[in-house]
C-alpha cells in the first residue's frame, strides 16, 4: 500500500478508532441524532443521552409523533435546547416530505433545519459513503498544521480553503474512515495544546512539524462579544408548591423555569410581578447567587424567596418538577435554594 496521508490515516483509524454506539450503525437517522448531540457536548457525556433517545425514538416517525415536552425531557441536561426543537421539527418535516425516510443527498440534508455543512458532510460520508468533507474544529486544526497554513481558521475564507483541500484528499478513498479518522486524530493526538506528534500516523507529511511550528499553529482568533446579565430570580411558593412557567420564546424557549427579571431590586421584582400576573407577593428571604454560563452570555441569578397568598395555575410540587423539562440554569437555582433552605 502506498504511503500517503489518506492510507496512513485510514489504516491508523481502522486499528485505533474510539468505540461509540453511533459508530456501530450506518443508519443516517441515528448518525444525525449523534452529530446534533455532539455539538457543544463531550462524547462521554453524550453516550447515555444518545442511548436513551434512540431506545425511546427508534424511528423518525416515533420522534415526529412525540410531544415536544417529551423530547425536551430526554434532552434535559444536554443544554442548547434549540437543538432538540430543531430535531423534533425536522423529524416532522421528513415524515411529511420524505415519507419518513432520511434524505439521501447532500443538498436535501443540508436544507434540513439545524443542519450545517459539517453535519451534512458527516452524515453523507458516514451513512452513505459519499466523498463529502466534514469540517469541524479538529479538521481545521489538523489541516492547518499539515500544510503549515498561517491563515486565521476562524475566518470563513480559510474554512472554505481547508474544505477544498479535504475534498481533494477524499477523492478515491473511504470517506467515512477518512473523516472519522480526522475527528479521532484531532481529539486524541493532534490536540489544540501539546500535540502528541510522536504518535501521529501522518507526522511525516506535516509541514508544521517540519518547521517546528506545530505548537504555534493553527491561528484561531475569534471576535466574541460576551454579555454579563444580572437577574432577580424568584422562588415563588404557595405552601409546598413552586411557581414555574414555560418560556414562550428566547434562549429557553419551551423550557420551564422560575420567573426572573433583569432588575436590581427584589422590591422592583414584586412590582413587576404584580403588574404582569395581578397577584401580590410577600418577600421572605435572600438565598445568594447562582451563575450560569452560556456560549455568549453569563447569567448572574440573585435568588429571592417570595410567597403567594393564593395558588397560581402553574404551581408544581417538587416531585412534579422532575417530570417536566426544566432549564439547566434553573435546575441549578432550585438545587442551590433547597440546599440553603
What's the pLDDT tens digit per position in 51-104? 999 999 999 999 999 999 999 999 988 888 889 999 999 999 999 999 999 999
**Alpha-carbon torsion (179, 183, 189, 194), positive or negative:** positive
What domain range is 255 assigned to?
A: 227-340
Nearest of 290, 274, 293 to residue 282 by alpha carbon: 274
User: Could you tell me the CA-to-CA distances from 266 to 44, 271, 287, 289 in Å, in that order?
Assistant: 40, 9, 12, 13
Report the alpha-carbon distance of residue 93 to residue 87 in Å, rounded.
Answer: 10
> Given pLDDT bands bounded at 50, 70 and 90, which one contains residue 41?
confident
Give me the mean pLDDT over the 139-156 stretch: 94
- 188 and 102, same structural domain? yes
Give me the mean pLDDT over the 243-270 stretch: 90
- 160 and 63, same structural domain? yes
For the entire predicted model, the pTM comes to 0.75
- The answer to whether residue 321 sits within a structural domain is yes
Element (H, E) at 259: strand 259-261
Grid coordinates of 32: 444525525
> Whole-number mean pLDDT of the chain?
93
Report the alpha-carbon distance of residue 46 to residue 38 in Å, rounded.
Answer: 7
Report the alpha-carbon distance of residue 227 to residue 251 in Å, rounded.
Answer: 13
- 198 and 156, same structural domain? yes
Q: Give me the CATH number covering residue 36.
A: 1.10.340.30
Higher pLDDT, 249 or 48: 48
pLDDT of residue 76: 87
Which of 182, 210, 238 is the last residue before a domain boundary?
A: 210
- Asked if 35 is an active-site residue, the reply is yes
Number of residues that this document lists for the chain: 341
- 243 and 200, same structural domain? no
110 strand-pairing partners = none
CB of 242 closer than 8 Å to CB of 174? no
Give me the mean pLDDT over the 16-31 stretch: 96
- The answer to whether residue 83 sits within a structural domain is yes
User: Could you tell me the CA-to-CA distances from 110 to 59, 104, 121, 188, 239 in Å, in that order?
Assistant: 20, 11, 9, 28, 51
Please write the tens of the pLDDT for every residue from 176-229.
999 999 999 999 999 998 899 999 999 999 999 999 999 889 988 777 678 899
Our count of domains for the chain comes to 2
Q: 24, 35, 44, 168: which one is catalytic? A: 35
User: Could you tell me the CA-to-CA distances from 9 to 6, 165, 203, 224 in Å, in that order?
Assistant: 5, 15, 10, 34
> Given pLDDT bands bounded at 50, 70 and 90, which one contains residue 2?
low
pLDDT of residue 209: 95
- 166 and 259, same structural domain? no
Amino acid at each position: 500500500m502506498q504511503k500517503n496521508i489518506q492510507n496512513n490515516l485510514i489504516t491508523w483509524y481502522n486499528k485505533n478508532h474510539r468505540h461509540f454506539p453511533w459508530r456501530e450503525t450506518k443508519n443516517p437517522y441515528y448518525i444525525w441524532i449523534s452529530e446534533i448531540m455532539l455539538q457543544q457536548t463531550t462524547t462521554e457525556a453524550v453516550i447515555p443521552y444518545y442511548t436513551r433517545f434512540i431506545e425511546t425514538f427508534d424511528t423518525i416517525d416515533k420522534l415526529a409523533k412525540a410531544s415536544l415536552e417529551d423530547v425536551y425531557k430526554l434532552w434535559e441536561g444536554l443544554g442548547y435546547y434549540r437543538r432538540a426543537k430543531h430535531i423534533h421539527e425536522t423529524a416532522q418535516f421528513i415524515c411529511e416530505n420524505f415519507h419518513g425516510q432520511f434524505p439521501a443527498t447532500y443538498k436535501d440534508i443540508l436544507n434540513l433545519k439545524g443542519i450545517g455543512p459539517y453535519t451534512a458532510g458527516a452524515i453523507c460520508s458516514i451513512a452513505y459513503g459519499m466523498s463529502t468533507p466534514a469540517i469541524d474544529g479538529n479538521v481545521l486544526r489538523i489541516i492547518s498544521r499539515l500544510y503549515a497554513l498561517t491563515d486565521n481558521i476562524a475566518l470563513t475564507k480559510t474554512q472554505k480553503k481547508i474544505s477544498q483541500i479535504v475534498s481533494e484528499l477524499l477523492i478515491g478513498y473511504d470517506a467515512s474512515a477518512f473523516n472519522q479518522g480526522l475527528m479521532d486524530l484531532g481529539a486524541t493526538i493532534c490536540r489544540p495544546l501539546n500535540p502528541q506528534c510522536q504518535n501521529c500516523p501522518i507526522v511525516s507529511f506535516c509541514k508544521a512539524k517540519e518547521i517546528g511550528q506545530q505548537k504555534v499553529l493553527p491561528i484561531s482568533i475569534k471576535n466574541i462579544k460576551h454579555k454579563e446579565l444580572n437577574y432577580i430570580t424568584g422562588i415563588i411558593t404557595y405552601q409546598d408548591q413552586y411557581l414555574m412557567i414555560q418560556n414562550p420564546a428566547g434562549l429557553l424557549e419551551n423550557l420551564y423555569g422560575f420567573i426572573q427579571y433583569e432588575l436590581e431590586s427584589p422590591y422592583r421584582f414584586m412590582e413587576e410581578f404584580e403588574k404582569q400576573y395581578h397577584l401580590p407577593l410577600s418577600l421572605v428571604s435572600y438565598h445568594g447567587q447562582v451563575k450560569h454560563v452560556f456560549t455568549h452570555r453569563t447569567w448572574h441569578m440573585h435568588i429571592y424567596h417570595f410567597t403567594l397568598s393564593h395558588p397560581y395555575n402553574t404551581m408544581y410540587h417538587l416531585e412534579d418538577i422532575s417530570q417536566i423539562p426544566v432549564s439547566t440554569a434553573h435546575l441549578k437555582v432550585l438545587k442551590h435554594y433547597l440546599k440553603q433552605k
